[in-house]
Structure 1
Amino acid sequence: MRLVSFNPYRSIGVPGVRYIKPEMVFKHREEIAEADWILFPEYWQVNFLVYGLKKRIFPNINTYHLGHDKVEMTRAFWAVCPENTPYTQILASTDANIEQVLDEFTFPFVTKEVRNSMGRGVFLIENKKDFLEYAQKNSILYVQEYLPIDRDLRIVYLGDKVITAYWRIGAEGQFHNNVSRGGSISFDDIPEEAIRLVEKVARKLGINHAGFDVAEVDGHYYFLEFNHMFGNQALLEKKIPVGRLIYEYLQSQSIPPREPDKPLIPRAS
């Protein structure tokens, strides 16, 4: 396979990959056109690679489009697993909608910036002042019920299966559970039901590379979000060969080469 990657860090361990700087994409157009797969393009590259150059990309187009922001992601969850989605309102930041949220939600509740990750842009709203400050800074109100948890599950899906899962446990007194925000990792007592849920939803949505964040409340599981570019500290700790797993998945998806003298469409007799 001829592989081109735009992210050397995330392509470590993938055999035979050729790295090209994202900003050099059009200077290497011919080489990219010859590649069998394009790995880890930046979001601004995705549409012209897939729709213009007809390239297969990893992660796939479903993963990029649905994972681009929390609005798209949440609507996808509403479509395929509404019972596993926390109660959420997505509204324009108008005076009327601000009042609607204040009438509808009780404190505390959670607000999020539409495009952010690693716990950034996620806020615990404990009073009206907090919410008004958030609303003034965001043109879209993303408001979600507060779930009483001190940890959540990060479930890593690659290709067509879960490759690992772990708890992210928030530091004492902290709202965020993200490892990047001081959370700790535990691989103990991972619920099989949550793994099966992620595999089912990822397959329904056609996602092939994501870290799903799942909360458990009284034995019920809720999707918080997923990230197609997720942290790999836990994967390194478990010595999971991510590069090899990516390569094996790409091999399984590759189209066998056509014999040179065999036409794609039979000639008329």
Structure 2
Amino acid sequence: MKHITFNPYRTIGIKNTTYLKSDSMFKHIDQIKESDWVLFPEYWQVNSLVYGLNKKIFPSVNSYHLGHDKIEMTRALLSICPQNVPYTLILPNNESGFETALNEMPFPFIAKEVRNSMGKGVYLINDVSEFREYASISNVLYVQEQLPIDRDMRIVYVGDDVIAAYWRVGNGESHLNNVSQGGEIVLELIPREAIDLVKHVAQTLGINHAGFDVAMVGDQFYIFEFNILFGNVGFQKLDISVEDKIVEYMQKEDSKLNIDTMFVS
């Protein structure tokens, strides 16, 4: 197989892969056409690669389109597992939307920027003035109930299965458990129900590369969001190669395509 990658950091261990800078994409159209897979393009490249050049990309187009925006992601989750989504309001950023949020979401609650990750753009809102401050920097009001937790789970789905799962425990100084925000990785048993939930969501939505953030309250599981460009610190502790899992998946997909082609011919 011959591959093009636009993100060498995430494809270091994948053989026969040529790195191109994303901003030089249109200077290398012929080289891209000759490749078997295009790996980790930037979001703005996806439509040209998939619909214009008819290329196989990894992560999947579903992963990109749903993972790019928390609003689209949340609506997709609400369509298939509403009981596993924290109470969430998505409202226009005007006075009516502001008042609706205050009437329906008790303090404290969480407010998020719709295009951010690694715990960035996530705010704990304790009062009206803090909510006003958030509203001043956001185009849309995205607010979510604050769950009574001091930890959550990172469950990573690559290819067609969960490849890693671990707890992230907060440091007690923040409302966030993200490792990038000071959370600690704890390698303890992850409930099977949480893993099955992530499998169901990924397979239903066509997601093939994402880190899911899952909370547990009593015996109920909640998905906050998923990130298609997740951190790798947990994999270092677990001694897992994401690149190997990606290669296995691509080989499996190519085998399926070859079998389908044989039957058609």
TM-score where L is the length of structure 1? 0.94
Q: How many residues align?
A: 262
Compute the displacement of 1:256 (Å): 2.0
1:193 and 1:257 map into 2 onto residues whose CA distance is 34
Percent of aligned pairs sharing the same letter:
55
1:155 and 1:257 map into 2 onto residues whose CA distance is 32
2:259 and 2:221 map into 1 onto residues whose CA distance is 43
1:58 and 1:169 map into 2 onto residues whose CA distance is 30
Alpha-carbon RMSD across the aligned residues, in angstroms, is: 1.5
Aligned partner of 1:92 in structure 2 is 92
The one-character-per-residue Cα deviations of 1:219-269 (angstroms, maximum 9, x if unpaired) are 11000000000000111221102111111100000122999xx9x77xxxx
Please state whether the residue corresponding to 2:167 is helix, strand or coil. Answer: strand
Aligned partner of 1:82 in structure 2 is 82
1:161 aligns with 2:161: yes
Between 1:247-256 and 1:52-61, the stretch displaced more is: 247-256
- The structure that is helix-richer by fraction is 2
1:191 and 1:43 map into 2 onto residues whose CA distance is 33
1:200 partner letter:
H
Contact 1:90 1:142 in 2 (8 A): yes
Compute the displacement of 1:25 (Å): 0.8
1:136 aligns with 2:151: no
1:167 and 1:258 map into 2 onto residues whose CA distance is 40
1:194 and 1:38 map into 2 onto residues whose CA distance is 31
Please state whether the residue corresponding to 2:177 is helix, strand or coil. Answer: coil
Contact 1:168 1:183 in 2 (8 A): yes
Aligned partner of 2:258 in structure 1 is 256
Please state whether the residue corresponding to 2:252 is helix, strand or coil. Answer: helix
Aligned partner of 2:147 in structure 1 is 147
1:256 partner letter:
N
Q: How does 1:17-56 map to 2 (within 5 A)?
A: 17-56=17-56
2:238 and 2:259 map into 1 onto residues whose CA distance is 36
The structure with the larger Rg is 1
1:217 aligns with 2:224: no
Contact 1:15 1:244 in 2 (8 A): no
Please state whether the residue corresponding to 1:55 is helix, strand or coil. Answer: coil
1:226 aligns with 2:226: yes
Alpha carbons of structure 1 residues 28 and 152: separation in structure 2 relative to 1, 3 Å: same
Contact 1:15 1:247 in 2 (8 A): no
1:147 and 1:172 map into 2 onto residues whose CA distance is 15
2:14 and 2:182 map into 1 onto residues whose CA distance is 30
Alpha carbons of structure 1 residues 258 and 140: separation in structure 2 relative to 1, 3 Å: closer
- Structure 1: gaps spanning 5 or more residues: none
Contact 1:84 1:222 in 2 (8 A): yes
The one-character-per-residue Cα deviations of 1:64-106 (angstroms, maximum 9, x if unpaired) are 0000110000000010100000111101111011111111111
2:184 and 2:31 map into 1 onto residues whose CA distance is 43
1:72 aligns with 2:61: no
- Structure 2: gaps spanning 5 or more residues: none
1:143 and 1:239 map into 2 onto residues whose CA distance is 37
1:171 and 1:49 map into 2 onto residues whose CA distance is 42
The one-character-per-residue Cα deviations of 1:26-65 (angstroms, maximum 9, x if unpaired) are 1111010011100000001000000000001000000000
Aligned partner of 1:118 in structure 2 is 118
2:113 and 2:218 map into 1 onto residues whose CA distance is 27
2:30 and 2:141 map into 1 onto residues whose CA distance is 43
- Runs in 1 of length 4+ with deviation above 4 angstroms? none
